[in-house]
A and B are shown apart, each in its own frame.
Chain A
């Protein structure tokens, strides 16, 4: 079992729709969870971090965390073509700075 799993996609949504990106992780003791956006040919850019169960909203982005189910998701409302990118889920192990990344989900937002 991979430590951090994401569906590689591509996930295709029409412009203006809600895009839902999902991630599961294996280390039940993980405490910190991050979403990065990576445009083709560019480096990852941190867009959300979440540490507690529930929802965290930032503009059009909402991160959702359920530690009991070992599941973290990212919702993008009113998706725009500029949101087309690969979204990386990253999880910190217990008491370590080591980030474990998923392979990423490619999102395509079609005009």
Chain B
């Protein structure tokens, strides 16, 4: 768990707020991912960054805005969210974005939108 860290661990925000989630990986990996996990649903891939370049946007609404300044850091900027966006947001990293790479997850941010 310490290989990938996420802050904050818990976040409560109103629909008009702007907040950011932060992820940092200490594994020397080059690919980073954002996932959403809602109750009773499979993990949903949101975004993929490989060597700081976004390679996947899985039809995510524009109220979620990712940022990857370098291979170790990943942000998810949130604005005008909806209550149905309440979920566990997970960051993961892998050696690179190729097919055989194992992904390692951070502890997640539990987001509640009021």
* Partner-B contacts on A (CB < 8 A): 4, 31-32, 34, 36, 42-46, 49, 51, 88, 90, 92-99, 101-104
The listed residue (B43, B55, B96) touching A44 by CB distance below 8 A is B43
CB pair A44–B105 under 8 Å, yes or no, is yes
Please classify the interface of chain B as helix (H, G, I), strand (E, B), loop, or mixed, using the class held by over half of its residues: loop
Given known contacts A88-B43, A101-B43, A44 and B90 CB-to-CB distance under 8 angstroms: yes
Chain B minimum-CB-distance residue to A44: B105
Residue B84 at the chain A interface, CB threshold 8 Å: no
* Partner-A contacts on B (CB < 8 A): 1, 31, 33, 40-43, 45, 48, 50, 55-56, 88, 90, 94, 96-108
CB pair B42–A104 under 8 Å, yes or no, is yes
The listed residue (A31, A43, A93, A101) touching B108 by CB distance below 8 A is A43
Which residues of A have CB within 8 Å of B101?
32, 97
Which residues of B have CB within 8 Å of A36?
105
CB pair A32–B104 under 8 Å, yes or no, is no
Which residues of A have CB within 8 Å of B107?
42-43
**Considering the chains assembled together, what is the distance between the CA atoms of A49 and B100 in angstroms?**
9
Task: Give 27 CB contacts A-B under 8 Å.
Answer: A4-B42, A31-B100, A42-B107, A43-B1, A43-B106, A44-B43, A44-B105, A45-B1, A45-B105, A51-B100, A88-B43, A93-B99, A96-B97, A97-B33, A97-B48, A97-B55, A97-B94, A97-B98, A97-B101, A97-B103, A98-B45, A98-B56, A99-B45, A99-B103, A101-B42, A101-B43, A104-B42
